Chain A
């Protein structure tokens, strides 16, 4: 095994297996434990989950390798990709990927069964942690500490950014000052924040809602059915509607009474009143699509 670790490592601590050596590695009796990821990472296979899962698995393998650098100390992390091991996949009767199998030792003080433990990959949160916990719970005497690699580039960027800002503060400040103190900018930012939050942005953020979704007839549906759901596109429409309605109210309250021309003012007021009326009608129309039993509406959108 240690030879393999030296010769066929693709990443530190991760052994690449193939049809030829797979059976040798897992055959009982064995005095070591092997974790096998049976996967199909080639883009042509179209296995999204395989590619999502790989980095988490690599992180666990690397973390183990970091504490046991020379030899595996009885635990080896391996990968068998479909393109190297088609025969193995067939003989194991595997039709889906990825699969994570943990073979415990069959000899020695922690001996266990020859057959592997199967880790359920689908729907498990907190990935690297749950892999390591699963391995620890099935292999007595193993303790894995996850070492997340530090993202030095981010730290570097932050530090240099701070230094640049601090250094240029004196020279830039006179130009930035009016921006920082501008009431229009602050008001604009506040309104954007409020419009974003009240149109359900946080819901999209937390639930990872799709932007649009397909419907049964094969078309695209922009508005999610149901009161408790929404699509990304839908919330943008609502945010824009709110923005126009709010701007209409602002125009009526602040802009229009400052127009120093009676005709112009009448046109402005008339336009904004019409816009508010129509958009409010649209808003209630969309709301009725979400909540079928809602009785209120104003023309023109009264269906």
Chain B
């Protein structure tokens, strides 16, 4: 593989320029392909978590940095509040705020929202550059350019970095790749300068994303593998020690991280390898100076026993509780059944589910099979830095298999390995030199060492080259087609799967034109305009950030799921009968309840579909009062129609979702379009009692019924029970309608239906 491209000197001079232009084009393509949602909808923040980040950024821009760090947010987790400044990763917000102030200083006032929306695409351009640098260290610049192009448009990364996806991952993947590049550079050069730079970007990463633990563990693992393989060198010692010492100290400056690096098990690996390296360095130093064989043995033995002592110390400290054991989220990566039993709140999040194979293909297309080829090719040479790629590749593919979300960390290495494999093929088949056929095959065949411990080629035969132009045409032709398909695939996936803001939905009208469904913003805007500023809104935790960000109202629970019990309380209120829920609502000062209902439109991500998780989480705390079994029919089905269990039908969530639902349909069957079940209607079937709500009033229902808001009633003026008070009011209304008080039950329901239709 040692082709030297012979180019005329003028062309060789132009190469850096071409490279730069290519990189700029790649960055442009990376940014452009992330703008589908801005073009289709508007410049809007997406989904759930980004709304919190956006709100926090606005806070940071309008206050100073220290009050941001000290921010106690009393508008979430009512009545507890949240120490927001101390429990977030500030990197993202600080980045946006710096850009905001920088542009302002250049007299370019840009709205902070637009900065937040565009941050992820811009950083994806930087990621492409970082991946280029990283791959250059692995093979050469042509592989680097390929890798940059791949990561620029690979859907696995686009999924978390489209415009508007203002989340930690938006900048974290750039930091991840750049930190890895600096680490490789430091290791190769044995440079404390690059080690310190690694630490600096590691610090930035720690400030930006909880996934920094991946770096904290993979660099020590790389160092450990090098030591075990006998590849210890002073370069490794310098690089690792400077990174670890500076990086750990720096990472402890983040309030949310604090003393974790010396007190939690996730970080112990890095500390252990740091200790090990000191011992190995000492032992190799002494061994090099001291002639006596016995003394060498002594040093080795004492180093080993010191190591054992250190290990025992860590285990002892963990058992005695000084070092915190692994956190549940991290632990569930190894023991995959753990979360399901012990932390349903983690298991309930859809991005924590295991990954089925189509997702891998969907997110990386042909790179997924070029990836193992690239790893094999990297095994050919097996330099120190190549080991890093192999470890990263195997670990990341395991993690991506366990959790859909971690496809994100796998994608960069898939792009790097795919690029190495493809650029190897391109190198060989674009080389137009015609090799000479030789007969003396046996002479050129060398017996080469195949050990992993040594460098050098794995193949015994020498590289000859390509004889026929047909071969070149076949290979280059087919791979060019694959590359075109890759671009098409990425564009299709990005456009169809990853560019929906999920705050605004789009549907197609029969004539093919686009229809925007804007129920969420309609409802949040209603809340903002029609409720008192200190109103407390209860909803399932998924919508907490959006309510905080768009409606600016106090919420009970939100997407920062730190308090399981509080979430379970909301779950219990939603899944219990009104009489049970009402005291809970009163105790938590709830003014409004917000539910998401997709039955009318066919929006499947609604609360009835999430309802079982509310039940499960509530059951985890109150196993005697809420039972998942009661929500399934005798045959074990989850139904919402006539056959639904009475627990289901009487639950607050069911009632609020289907309240007056059947009225829309009149005499037509009331079909729930998500679950394809018919809701019992009092209009078509007089024996059915319409759903009545005693303790809450319907306050608002959005255009397509996706968001329904209910106002919680005050205590009755006469101290009556709400059900009795309601029945009394009903009776009055009946009399006013000219019917006698002793009307049969059927008459009452008819009378009510009439009133509702007026």
User: Residues of A at under 8 Å CB distance from B?
Assistant: 120, 122-123, 125-126, 133, 137, 178, 181-184, 186-187, 190-191, 193-195, 197-203, 205-207, 227-230, 234-235, 238, 241-243, 245-247, 249-250, 252-254, 256-262, 265-266, 269-270, 273, 276-277, 280, 283, 287, 290-291, 293-296, 298
* Contacting residues, chain A, for B400 (C-beta < 8 A): 197-198
Closest A residue to B453 by beta carbon equals: A181
* Contacting residues, chain B, for A293 (C-beta < 8 A): 496
Cα distance, A194 to B464, chains bound together (Å): 30
Cα distance, A269 to B362, chains bound together (Å): 28
Contact A193 B397 (CB under 8 A): yes
A258-B461, A258-B463 as given contacts; A190 in contact with B393, CB under 8 Å: yes
* Contacting residues, chain A, for B459 (C-beta < 8 A): 254, 258
Contact A249 B370 (CB under 8 A): yes
Q: Which of A227, A242, A273, A298 contacts B369 (CB 8 A)?
A: A242
Question: Which of the segments B159-167, B470-478, B750-758 contacts the partner chain?
Answer: B470-478
Give the total number of A-B pairs whose CB atoms are below 8 A apart: 205
Give the residues from 606 to 624 in chain B that come closer than 8 angstroms, CB to CB, to chain A. Answer: 623-624
Given A137-B623, A205-B336, A258-B462, 6 more pairs with CB closer than 8 A: A123-B636, A133-B623, A182-B452, A183-B450, A184-B450, A197-B401
* Contacting residues, chain A, for B451 (C-beta < 8 A): 178, 181-183
Question: Which of the segments B73-81, B304-312, B480-488, B500-508 contacts the partner chain?
Answer: B480-488
Closest A residue to B400 by beta carbon equals: A197
Q: How far is the CB of B340 from chain A (nearest CB, A)?
A: 7
* Contacting residues, chain A, for B592 (C-beta < 8 A): none
* Contacting residues, chain B, for A229 (C-beta < 8 A): 356
A242-B372, A257-B428 as given contacts; A283 in contact with B361, CB under 8 Å: yes
Which 10 A/B pairs are nearest by Cβ-Cβ distance? A202-B401, A200-B357, A262-B467, A249-B373, A245-B369, A197-B397, A187-B379, A246-B372, A269-B471, A203-B354
Closest A residue to B401 by beta carbon equals: A202
Contact A246 B485 (CB under 8 A): no
Q: Which of A202, A235, A280 contacts B398 (CB 8 A)?
A: A202
Closest B residue to A124 by beta carbon equals: B629
Q: How far is the CB of B431 from chain A (nearest CB, A)?
A: 9
Cα distance, A190 to B374, chains bound together (Å): 12
Q: Which of A187, A202, A252, A287 contacts B361 (CB 8 A)?
A: A287
Q: How far is the CB of A224 from chain B (nearest CB, A)?
A: 8
Contact B629 A122 (CB under 8 A): yes
Closest A residue to B393 by beta carbon equals: A194
At the interface, yes or no: B697 with Cβ under 8 Å from chain A? no
* Contacting residues, chain B, for A256 (C-beta < 8 A): 466, 471
Contact A202 B355 (CB under 8 A): yes
Contact B358 A290 (CB under 8 A): yes
A183-B458, A193-B394, A235-B357 as given contacts; A203 in contact with B475, CB under 8 Å: no
Closest A residue to B437 by beta carbon equals: A262
Contact A254 B380 (CB under 8 A): yes
Contact B471 A249 (CB under 8 A): no
Cα distance, A181 to B452, chains bound together (Å): 5
Contact A296 B356 (CB under 8 A): no
* Contacting residues, chain B, for A133 (C-beta < 8 A): 623
Cα distance, A205 to B401, chains bound together (Å): 10
Contact B458 A194 (CB under 8 A): no
Contact B361 A123 (CB under 8 A): no
* Contacting residues, chain A, for B425 (C-beta < 8 A): 249, 252-253
User: Residues of B at under 8 Å CB distance from A?
Assistant: 336-337, 340-341, 353-362, 366, 368-373, 375-377, 379-380, 382, 390, 393-394, 397-398, 400-402, 421-422, 424-425, 428-429, 437-438, 441, 450-453, 458-459, 461-468, 470-471, 474-475, 478, 481-482, 485, 488-489, 492, 496, 623-624, 627-629, 636
Cα distance, A136 to B349, chains bound together (Å): 32
* Contacting residues, chain B, for A294 (C-beta < 8 A): 492
Cα distance, A119 to B462, chains bound together (Å): 72
Q: How far is the CB of B338 from chain A (nearest CB, A)?
A: 11
Contact A266 B376 (CB under 8 A): no
A190-B375, A197-B398, A257-B428 as given contacts; A269 in contact with B474, CB under 8 Å: yes
Q: Which of B355, B357, B377, B474 contacts A253 (CB 8 A)?
A: B377
Q: How far is the CB of A266 from chain B (nearest CB, A)?
A: 5
Contact B471 A265 (CB under 8 A): yes
What are 24 A-to-B residue pairs whose CB atoms are below 8 Å?
A120-B627, A126-B341, A182-B452, A183-B452, A198-B371, A198-B400, A202-B355, A203-B354, A206-B337, A227-B362, A234-B357, A246-B372, A249-B421, A250-B376, A252-B428, A258-B464, A259-B464, A260-B437, A266-B470, A269-B471, A270-B474, A280-B482, A290-B358, A298-B485
Q: How far is the CB of A180 from chain B (nearest CB, A)?
A: 8
B interface, over-half SS: helix
Contact A253 B421 (CB under 8 A): yes
Q: How far is the CB of B625 from chain A (nearest CB, A)?
A: 12
Contact B624 A227 (CB under 8 A): no
Contact A228 B470 (CB under 8 A): no
Contact B462 A194 (CB under 8 A): no
Cα distance, A217 to B380, chains bound together (Å): 51
Contact B382 A183 (CB under 8 A): yes
Q: How far is the CB of A140 from chain B (nearest CB, A)?
A: 14
Cα distance, A277 to B475, chains bound together (Å): 10
Q: Which of B362, B375, B488, B629 contacts A120 (CB 8 A)?
A: B629
Cα distance, A201 to B336, chains bound together (Å): 13
Q: Which of B362, B461, B463, B624 contacts A137 (CB 8 A)?
A: B624
Cα distance, A250 to B437, chains bound together (Å): 22
* Contacting residues, chain B, for A242 (C-beta < 8 A): 368-369, 372
* Contacting residues, chain A, for B355 (C-beta < 8 A): 200, 202-203
* Contacting residues, chain B, for A199 (C-beta < 8 A): 357, 360
Q: How far is the CB of B421 from chain A (nearest CB, A)?
A: 5
Q: Which of B372, B422, B428 contacts A191 (CB 8 A)?
A: B372
* Contacting residues, chain A, for B390 (C-beta < 8 A): 190
Q: How far is the CB of B509 from chain A (nearest CB, A)?
A: 19
Q: Which of B358, B370, B424 contacts A230 (CB 8 A)?
A: B358
* Contacting residues, chain B, for A260 (C-beta < 8 A): 437-438, 441, 461, 464
* Contacting residues, chain A, for B362 (C-beta < 8 A): 227, 287, 291
Closest B residue to A200 by beta carbon equals: B357
Q: Which of B356, B366, B636 contacts A227 (CB 8 A)?
A: B356
* Contacting residues, chain B, for A257 (C-beta < 8 A): 428, 463-466
Closest A residue to B460 by beta carbon equals: A258
Q: How far is the CB of B393 from chain A (nearest CB, A)?
A: 6
Q: Which of B358, B369, B428, B461 contacts A246 (CB 8 A)?
A: B369
Cα distance, A138 to B450, chains bound together (Å): 67
A191-B376, A242-B368 as given contacts; A295 in contact with B492, CB under 8 Å: yes
Cα distance, A232 to B95, chains bound together (Å): 45
* Contacting residues, chain A, for B478 (C-beta < 8 A): 273, 276-277
* Contacting residues, chain A, for B421 (C-beta < 8 A): 249-250, 253
Closest B residue to A227 by beta carbon equals: B358
Q: How far is the CB of B329 from chain A (nearest CB, A)?
A: 16
* Contacting residues, chain B, for A290 (C-beta < 8 A): 358
Contact A273 B375 (CB under 8 A): no
Cα distance, A277 to B470, chains bound together (Å): 16
* Contacting residues, chain B, for A186 (C-beta < 8 A): 379, 452
A181-B452, A262-B468, A277-B478 as given contacts; A125 in contact with B340, CB under 8 Å: yes
Contact B368 A198 (CB under 8 A): yes
Cα distance, A247 to B370, chains bound together (Å): 9
Contact A250 B468 (CB under 8 A): no
* Contacting residues, chain A, for B458 (C-beta < 8 A): 183-184, 187
Contact B402 A202 (CB under 8 A): yes
Cα distance, A270 to B377, chains bound together (Å): 21
Cα distance, A59 to B647, chains bound together (Å): 33
Q: How far is the CB of B183 from chain A (nearest CB, A)?
A: 21
Which of B368, B393, B482 has the largest number of chain A CB atoms within 10 A?
B368
A125-B341, A187-B379, A191-B376 as given contacts; A273 in contact with B467, CB under 8 Å: no
Cα distance, A256 to B474, chains bound together (Å): 13
Cα distance, A261 to B464, chains bound together (Å): 10
* Contacting residues, chain B, for A230 (C-beta < 8 A): 356-358
